[in-house]
Structure 1
Amino acid sequence: MAEEIEISVSSADELITDEQLQDKSKGQLIKNAGQFRDRRNELNQIASKRASKRDDLNAKTRERVDEAQDHREKRDTLNERVQEHKSVRNELNAKANELFEKVENLKSDLELDEGKDLEQLKEEIEELEFKQQTEVLSADDERELIEKIEDKRDEYQDKKEKLDENNDLEEYVDEAEEVRAEASKHHDKVTELADRAQKHHNQMIEAYREADDIRDEADEMHEDFVEAQESADAHHEAFVRVQKRLRELDKKEEEDRKDERAEKREEAREEAEEIYERFKDGETLDTEDLRKLQKSGHL
């Protein structure tokens, strides 16, 4: 904000009216001229300081705007890369889904999707074998348990043989998992780049906000500058008007002096004519009369 200096005058008429110019004495006008000149100079200094502060604030505003633009460009570049990785990720996920679908279809064709998978069967066989080895069972229960173990082993072996015989299934699974893993990498990249883009977006918003705040301060300072400059101009105009009036008074005084000198010369000439007439009439003249006749050119 501008320094706390009262500035209320914006026109020369508020400082001195035409009537005052005519009515005031020369001494008063000389005093007014000095006051107007000094106040004008003071106000010009204030206006200059405010203009300098305004320019500094405008420069800071441009710096913040440039900073915001830089963050905007970086954000937009990162968002473009986000879209690129998203596109690749989506394509890879679509491809992985197709491959997993082929795996499921192939399993269905081979009847491998029915019942439990190999890992589950293996765990169940191990649990039944452990039970057989550790628990005391009746002959019927043990026979029933052995039959279950055999059935599980047969199911496990049947599925394992089908899998071993069909290399396509394993290849599809491996390829699908590789594609899905690659898609996951692109997804991680999307997340990383999106986070970086968001940071630049937040920094851009903050820089624009700061630019707006500083611009508002610069606008206020410009208004203060205009106020001081207008008042300085008003004081300058008042100073000029007083100076003009003083020149008019000087000119009038000079003219009055000329008139006075002319009047005195006319009086001296008339007096000399009178003395000369007396001289011609034979009247005796004193030294002062003779000096006046000599000065007028009659002798």
Structure 2
Amino acid sequence: MADSIDESKNIEVTDEELENKSKGELIKLAGKLRDRRNELNQMASERASKRDELNAKTREKVDEAQEHRETRDELNEQVQEHKEKRNELNAEANELFDKVEQLKDDAKLDEGKDIEELESEIEDLEFKQQTEVLDTEDERELIEKIEEKREKLQEKKEKLDQNEEIDELEEKAEEVRAEASKHHQKVTELADEAQKHHNEMIEAYREADEIRDEADEMHEKFVEAQEAADQHHEDFVRVQKRLRELDKKEEEEEREQREEKQEAAREEAEEIYQQFKEGETLDTEDLMKLQKTGLL
């Protein structure tokens, strides 16, 4: 940042100085005022250039921030689109899973023992029948139990065969849910990217504010230098005006002196001419005085 003006180098001119200083002193003073004015104008020009440069950088940062804002807004729009699609797909998946549950309830596939468990129990009972020695009553009961379980197993298998739609619906529901997850992943990725641009936008605006503060400070220093230069110019003009007044005064004094000399010479010439008319003899110098005044 530029330093403040060294006021000790500034030149002040009072009305008293203007009135009392000699012409030579005023000429020197005018030169000093002119040099200081030019120095201050140069300083003001440099500060104006620096201010303009900082203002340009401020605009660049503001433009950069605006670009991040636009990108962030575009990404947020995409986030919203993927959210809506994700929610639609999740709703569709939920409907499919609800339908699967309803079909399972209708088929009562979830009541009692499952197929694998019934098959295992049947195998155990058949093994017992083949390996153990049973009386007639026990063997009959065992056979009935095996038949009962086989009937239940067959019933479950038949119901399962009749409801192959359940597997298809479950597969479809999982596919829809997976598609929803993809959109959710895009939501996360795009939201992170939008946040990144938001943070960069905030940083760019912060930097723009800092540079703008520097530009404002530089503008104040430009005004300071320009006002000082203007003041020196005004004083320079005042001194120049005073010098013109003195020149005019000198010219008037010289003119008056010339007129006085001319008048004295004319009076002297008239006196010589009178002497000439009275018959006095004139020397060469007297004749020349008469010629200068036009009397001869």
Shorter-chain TM-score range? 0.7 to 0.9
Residues 96-137 of structure 1: CA deviation (Å, up to 9, x unaligned): 111111111221222223356667x49x959x97xx9xxxxx
2:105 equivalent in structure 1: 108
Aligned equivalent of 2:241, options 228, 233, 244: 244
Segments of structure 1 that go 5 or more residues without pairing to the other structure are 133-138
| Distance change (3 Å), C-alpha of 1:7 and 1:63 | farther
CA distance in 2, matches of 1:161, 1:45: 102
Aligned counterpart, 2:205: 208
Corresponding residue number in structure 2 for 1:6: 6
Cα displacement string for residues 69-115 of structure 1 (whole angstroms, at most 9, x for unaligned residues): 11111111111111001001001101111111111122122222335
Q: Residues 111, 153 of structure 1: CA spacing in aligned structure 2 closer, same or farther, 3 A cutoff?
A: same
In the TM superposition, what whole-angstrom CA distance separates every residue of 1:139-178 from its partner, at most 9, and x where no partner exists?
9xxx9xx99x979988766544422221221122111111
* 1:265 corresponding residue in structure 2: 262
How far is 1:58 from its partner? 0.9
| Counterpart-to-counterpart distance in 1, 2:101 and 2:201 | 49
Name the aligned partner's letter for residue 186 of structure 2: K
May I ask how many residue pairs the two structures share in their alignment? 280
Partner of 1:276: 273
2:264 and 2:198 map into 1 onto residues whose CA distance is 97
Asked if structure 2 preserves the Cα contact closer than 8 Å seen for 1:104 and 1:113, the reply is no
- 3-state SS in 2 of match to 1:15: coil
Residues 10-58 of structure 1: CA deviation (Å, up to 9, x unaligned) = 9xxx822333222221111111100110011111111111111111111
Distance in 2 of aligned mates of 1:64 and 1:9: 38
Q: Is 1:29 matched up with 2:26?
A: yes
**Stretches of structure 2 lacking an aligned partner (at least 5 in a row):** 128-133
Q: Normalized against structure 2, the TM-score is what?
A: 0.84
Write the deviation string for residues 212-260 of structure 1: whole angstroms up to 9, x where unpaired. 1111111111111111111111111111111111111111111111111
The residue number in structure 2 matching 1:165 is: 162
Maintained 8 Å contact 2:54/2:212: yes
Report the identity percentage: 71
CA RMSD of aligned residues (A): 3.0
Aligned positions of 1:1-299 closer than 5 A = 1-7=1-7, 15-115=12-112, 121=117, 125=120, 158-299=155-296
TM-score, L = length of structure 1: 0.84
Q: CA deviation at 1:287?
A: 3.1
Cα 1:270/1:173, change in 2 over 3 Å: same
Shift of 1:9: 9.7
Q: Which residue of 2 aligns with 1:136?
A: none
In structure 2, the CA distance between the partners of 1:212 and 1:117, relative to structure 1 (3 Å rule), is farther
Structure 1 residues 152 and 71: alpha-carbon distance in aligned structure 2, compared to 1, 3 A threshold? farther
